[in-house]
Amino acid sequence: MNNSVARLKDHMKKIEQYQTIENLLYWDLATMTPEKGVDSKAEAIGFFSTEAFRLSTSEEYGSLLKELSAPENYNTLEPAIKVTVRRELRDYERFCRVPEDFYTEYVTLKARSQRAWETAKKASDFSVYAPYLDKIIQMTKQYVRYMEPDQKPYEVLLDMFEEGMDSQTIDRVFEELKEGLRPLLKKIREAEQPDLSALKGTYPISGQKKLQDMLLSYMGFDFTKGTTAESEHPFTSEIGSGDIRITNHFREEDPLAAIFSAIHEGGHAIFDQNIDPSYAHTSVMQVNIMGLHESQSRFYENILGRNPGFWSPIYTKLGKLLPHFQEVPFDTFLKAINHVEPSMIRIDADEVTYCLHIILRYEIERAIFNDEVTTEELPALWNDKMEELLGIRPATDAEGVLQDTHWSDGSFGYFPSYLLGSVYDGMFLEAMEKELGSIEEIMSKGEIMKITKWLNTNIHQNGSLYTSREVIQRLCGKEISARPLLDYFNKKYSEIYSF
Ligand code: ZN
């Protein structure tokens, strides 16, 4: 049996070599590649990902996985290997059920559709993109039906991005949130709104970059295991073990966007940097459970990063690196980073209204997969739901249905994981404060690393050994619920907006 486990790890290591190169190429494409080098990089990515795909679907690998999954063998395996065999065999069997010519057509369509989406978004014209989106929807339904013929397509998609999750749980949790957020948002909107004009000014990018490095070190990002660069959209990437990189996008007039992107991506990176290295060459090393991953980036960004305790020990440093902050009273800064206001664009939304942006997308995806809405009806449905949930109506498709890239490449079922991340955060916060006491007090004393260590021990080191539901059961001893997140919102915003 030991020999078979060694062969499994060997095979996974081989696949990882290709993935390392693939990720490095993606990283380069997003940060460094000159315009005329794009095509050759894209071609190389195609080459390496095909090789990796061949290895994951080779017959030899399939028989090894089947051998290891036979009960008499499987029961003797250690937990990380069990998880690996289960996931690898599931993916192997799924891929084997998809006809090759269908797969090629689907991948090609996704690339074309993404380009059509970019064009449509620039022109704010849904009609350019509609035929592609329609085809993507049909083909995604078919793709998932090939993979799991006996399951409902949307359930399979949810599970692909958030292992162990189902629409029944999401319906329950999101309904709970919707009910709880309506009165909260009403109170916030009726309260006196803060004057944030002191923040208007210029914040040199060189200073913003130094601030980013300072913040990352402060949170616990390990620069011996990672680095930073600039790209159009911030992201985190693992370039093989011991090398977790993040990117950011800087604008002189808006330091807050870059600050919170740095904290968010830093949270993703700290997770990956702290997975127990003994899980090397098992699937535990890769956390493709997006809700769990997002819970960590959003914990740093929102729960910690928007807390006064995070900033009080370092606020004078902000003024040293970016002198305009010397003219911004600390209290105004806190009000600015916690300002709640309904707006059109998800990625610019505050932590409260953000929830509603995701609920909107989830409800639309559910309607798409229940065949309750046609593609042409999507822009109007989007706008109606914006009005219902946030009380505002997009004037153009660019600030409505065209704003996100996810659907253009078939990533239906991804959106809920962002909000599930925040829901988990409410629960993690409760468990953490029970054990460590108030996070505001800890951070005010300059001891944020105590919090990072708690997350390292209780969540990060386990990688994807446990699903989110299991992590929550182990840490909080209860079922997933939106109540703790709502309690956190209500307590926090009643203080900020004095109601
Ligand atoms: Zn993220």
Distance 431 CA to ligand 1 centre (A): 22
C-alpha 346/C-alpha 365 separation (Å) is: 16
Name the band, by pLDDT with cuts 50, 70 and 90, for residue 384: very high
Distance 367 CA to ligand 1 centre (A): 25
By the 8 A CB rule, do 151 and 93 touch?
no
Name the band, by pLDDT with cuts 50, 70 and 90, for residue 107: confident
Write down the residue that tokens 């065949």 correspond to: 371
Q: What is the mean pLDDT of residues 306-319?
A: 98
Name the band, by pLDDT with cuts 50, 70 and 90, for residue 45: confident
Question: CA quadruple 308, 313, 314, 320: dihedral positive or negative?
Answer: positive
Name the band, by pLDDT with cuts 50, 70 and 90, for residue 377: very high
C-alpha 378/C-alpha 100 separation (Å) is: 31
Of 265, 301, 351, 365, which residue is the catalytic one?
265
C-alpha 81/C-alpha 95 separation (Å) is: 21
Distance 293 CA to ligand 1 centre (A): 7
Q: For residue 192, give every residue at least 6 positions away whose Cβ sits within 8 Å of its Cβ, in sequence order, or none.
A: 497, 498
Q: What is the pLDDT of residue 439?
A: 98
Distance 203 CA to ligand 1 centre (A): 25
Per-residue pLDDT for 100 more than 90?
no
Q: What is the pLDDT of residue 344?
A: 97
State the average pLDDT for the chain.
96
Burial status of residue 448 (CB atoms within 10 A of its CB: 0-12, 13-18, 19 or more): buried
Q: What is the pLDDT of residue 104?
A: 86
Tokens representing 409 are 């490449």
Name the band, by pLDDT with cuts 50, 70 and 90, for residue 42: confident
Distance 264 CA to ligand 1 centre (A): 6
265 belongs to the catalytic site:
yes
Neighbours of ion ligand 1 (CB under 5 A): 297
pLDDT-above-70 percentage for the chain: 100
Closest residue by Cα to residue 362 from 85, 172, 131: 172
Give the CA distances from residue 427 to residues 171, 264, 437, 466, in Å, rounded to whole numbers and listed in that order: 18, 19, 15, 16
Q: What is the pLDDT of residue 50?
A: 86
Distance 234 CA to ligand 1 centre (A): 9
- Residue length of the chain: 499
Give the CA distances from residue 273 to residues 153, 302, 461, in Å, rounded to whole numbers and listed in that order: 34, 20, 9
Distance 472 CA to ligand 1 centre (A): 19
Distance 257 CA to ligand 1 centre (A): 14
Cβ neighbours, 10 Å, residue 377 = 12
Distance 297 CA to ligand 1 centre (A): 6
Tokens representing 287 are 């956390």
Q: What is the pLDDT of residue 27?
A: 93
Phi, then psi, of 4 in degrees rounded to 5: -70, -40
Q: What is the pLDDT of residue 389?
A: 96
By the 8 A CB rule, do 8 and 81 touch?
yes
C-alpha 480/C-alpha 422 separation (Å) is: 11
Q: What is the mean pLDDT of residues 479-486?
A: 97
By the 8 A CB rule, do 138 and 369 touch?
no
Lowest model confidence (mean pLDDT) among 31-45, 157-171, 290-304: 31-45
Lowest model confidence (mean pLDDT) among 105-114, 433-442, 452-461: 105-114
Name the band, by pLDDT with cuts 50, 70 and 90, for residue 143: very high
Per-residue pLDDT for 1 more than 80?
no
Q: Which residues of 201-235 are buried (b: 16+ CB within 10 A; e: fewer)?
A: eebeeebbbebbebbbebbbbeeebbebeebeebb
Distance 88 CA to ligand 1 centre (A): 25
Q: What is the pLDDT of residue 111?
A: 82
Name the amino acid, one letter, at 89: L
Distance 452 CA to ligand 1 centre (A): 17
Name the band, by pLDDT with cuts 50, 70 and 90, for residue 63: very high
